Amino acid sequence: MSKIFIFGTDEPTLTIHVATDCANACSFCVNKRMYQNSEVKFTTNYNKWSNIKTTLKDLLEKYPEMCRNIVISGGEPLVDYFNLKEVIFPILVEYKNKKVINKIYLNTYLPNIDNFVDMCINYASGPNRLIDGISVSRPNLSVDEFNNYPYGEGNRDILFRIMNEFKANFAYEHDMPSIRVNAIIRYNGIDLKKIAELYTKAGIKVSLREDFSEENNTTIHKLTSNQKKRYDDLNPVFVGGCNACATFNTSMDDVTIHKGLEHTSHQLDIGKNTLIEVIDFIIDPIGNVYYDWISTESDRKLYKFDYKTNKVDHIHSREGSVISIFDTTGCRVKVSDEDEEENKKEFINRIIDNIKYSSDSSSCECEACKKTQEKWDKIAKNVEDSKIFGYTSLINNRPIVSCGYTNLC
């Protein structure tokens, strides 16, 4: 069966999980479970960084459309700042200069203040700027810790100092690297306005985040009754998202609420092909690649992106490629059994209509693109011949195949 990867966003994100774990043990952290994998634990630090370097270069060369946005995460990137600078940063500099990479972001919880300051001065605001945004996360805190000691005064002062340096080095705010504090909110009774104002007054953004382990397909694009109570003072308004996440603006500038699912990919089997909607690609701490987040051994097998041994067909629709079945409230739904036959027909027709090329669409005439277009025509025929119906994603836009974007030729 051939796997065809379709991007569920205009530009998917490639997250690099560095070789070094963090010191925290947050219950909701899917990454922590990845670092506890036996193969990851017993691979030497040198081999981890070497494998990550090899994999990153391979992907940037073979699948550049996967690498438009890069997130450096962990574990904790700033624990081993030497290898981050010497092994990973030179590759990112090279491919950002080649215009392969658009944006690069760093996730940290500030375990090493000196490394953070050095990174910001040299790679976020200096002449060889590399980092476009920094997200600062902290462990899950109790209500008292949130209200009385929000993230520690020392760390907060460092963020203020760095933000002031950004303001001094950039004439316009929209050119500055962004700093965002990510706060996992799991309790009611937290003075969210008080905490947010500590940061927003200095120009630092705040993202209030719900625990992904408590979300599912039916809750992702709306607030539950408990969440509404939690954020009542902030007047949240849903402003958008994708199949796996949602963003809510609030009455405070630079303060948003974010909800996400543990897994972000969706797939649809059509004949001998499997269409896989992908939002995230992952490089794990030992250099393996996945097209979804991994926390269990079954995840590692299910989401493996084996680009070295298997030929992977991939197409990017420039318009944004996949939607889900939504009801009027924005929640994904499965229709009732009594409506199944009528909806089955509509469902299949929508897939056929959206996979086929419209008569007025223009595509590249090179041989590689012609073959890709023929593949899609066969897929559409398979859909038409199949009795497909289910709770899954649909292709939203007719892909216009062009090697000018995906370098097929």
Residues 368, 293 share a domain: no
Residues 231 and 373 in one domain: no
Tell me, yes or no, whether 89 and 183 share the same domain: yes
Q: Are 331 and 308 in the same domain? A: no
Tokens of 2: 């051939």
Other CB atoms within a 10 A radius of the CB of residue 121 amount to 13
In this structure, of 81-90, 299-308, 329-338, the range with the lowest mean pLDDT score is 329-338
Instruction: Pick 337 or 227 by higher pLDDT.
Output: 227
Verify that 344 and 310 share a domain, yes or no. no
- Using the CB atoms, write b or e for 5-43: b if 16+ within 10 Å: bbbbbebbbbbbbbbbbbeeebeebbbbebbebeebeeb
pTM of the model: 0.77
Same structural domain, 125 and 152: yes
CATH number of the domain where residue 157 is located: 3.20.20
| Domain termination residue (choose one: 315, 348, 380) | 315
Rounded Cα distance, 164 and 245, in Å:
32
| % of the chain with per-residue pLDDT over 90 | 28
172-230 confidence digits (pLDDT tens):
888 899 999 888 887 788 888 888 888 898 899 999 988 888 888 778 888 999 999 99
Residues 48, 194 within the same domain: yes
- Domain edge (last residue) among 289, 315, 341: 315
Count up the domains in the chain and report the number.
Answer: 2
Per mean pLDDT, which range of 15-19, 66-70, 185-189, 366-370 is the poorest?
A: 366-370
How many residues are there in the chain? 409
- Give pLDDT tens digits for 82-127: 999 999 999 999 999 999 999 999 999 888 888 999 899 889 987 7
Instruction: Say yes or no: 281 and 335 in one domain.
Output: no
- Residue 399 belongs to domain spanning: 322-406
Euclidean distance between CA atoms 51 and 375, whole angstroms: 34
Same domain, 58 and 94: yes
* Average pLDDT value for the chain: 75
DSSP designation for 202: T
Tell me: do 94 and 236 sit in the same domain.
yes
- Residue 343 shares a structural domain with residue 214: no
CA 289, CA 296: separation in Å to the nearest integer? 15
Q: Which of 298, 315, 332 is the last residue of a domain?
A: 315
Share above pLDDT 70 across residues of the chain, in percent, rounded to a whole number: 67
Same domain, 280 and 326: no
For the ranges 122-126, 250-254, 353-357, the maximum mean pLDDT occurs at: 250-254
* 223-241 mean pLDDT: 90
